[in-house]
């Protein structure tokens, strides 16, 4: 049923809960988990360090993906990627690129005015995705 599971991560507890759930799915279906960090190009992230231009968000993404990969079951196939762009569009494009069968995403579980005012990447992915999206609320 699932061969390719996409899990966008930002290093949050909600994303970690989604990763844990995705790994359980991967074990059950012998699937590959794709961990994706999106370096949000809508944010100013370029800094100068020792004369070299370093994208701080990509550096943060490398750290987050490394930490996530270290805590995963080594029996599960994992592919990680850092993509630059707007989070929603990039997640949807990457899901198409890898032919994802499901996207597993964490959610804060906001309701009412908080959800309306703050918006939600997960909610927008759910609304726009042609791929099923499984949302996981961190306990």
Computed over every residue of the chain, the mean pLDDT equals 86
Helix orientation angle between 87-97 and 121-128, rounded to the nearest 10 degrees? 40
Exposed, middle or buried by CB within 10 Å (0-12, 13-18, 19+), for 60?
middle
What is the predicted pLDDT for the residue at 41?
A: 72
Average pLDDT value for residue range 61-81: 93
The CA distance from 6 to 24, in Å, is 13
What is the predicted pLDDT for the residue at 1?
A: 85
Q: What's the DSSP call for residue 109?
A: -
Average pLDDT value for residue range 89-113: 88
Domain encompassing residue 44? 4-137
What is the predicted pLDDT for the residue at 110?
A: 57
Number of domains in the chain: 1
By mean pLDDT, which of 31-35, 43-47, 113-117, 121-125 is the weakest? 113-117
- Say which CATH number the domain at 23 has: 3.40.50.620
What's the length of the chain?
Answer: 139
pLDDT-based confidence at residue 43 (cuts at 50, 70, 90): low
Residue 75: in which H helix or E strand, if any? Answer: none
Which of residues 85 and 48 earns the better pLDDT score? Answer: 85
Exposed, middle or buried by CB within 10 Å (0-12, 13-18, 19+), for 11?
middle
**Sign of the Cα pseudo-torsion (107, 63, 23, 124, in order):** positive
């Amino acid at each position: 049923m699932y061969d390719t599971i996409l899990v966008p991560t930002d290093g949050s507890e909600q994303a970690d809960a989604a990763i844990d759930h995705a790994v359980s799915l991967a074990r059950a279906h012998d699937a590959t988990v794709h961990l994706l960090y999106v370096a949000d190009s809508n944010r100013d992230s370029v800094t100068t360090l020792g004369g070299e231009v370093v994208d701080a968000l990509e550096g943060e993404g490398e750290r987050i993906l490394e930490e996530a990969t270290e805590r995963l079951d080594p029996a599960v196939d994992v592919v990680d990627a850092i993509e630059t762009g707007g989070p929603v569009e990039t997640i949807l494009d990457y899901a198409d690129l890898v032919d994802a069968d499901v996207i597993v995403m964490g959610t804060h579980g906001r309701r009412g005015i908080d959800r309306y005012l703050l918006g939600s990447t997960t909610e927008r992915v759910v609304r726009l995705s042609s791929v099923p999206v499984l949302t996981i609320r961190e306990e």
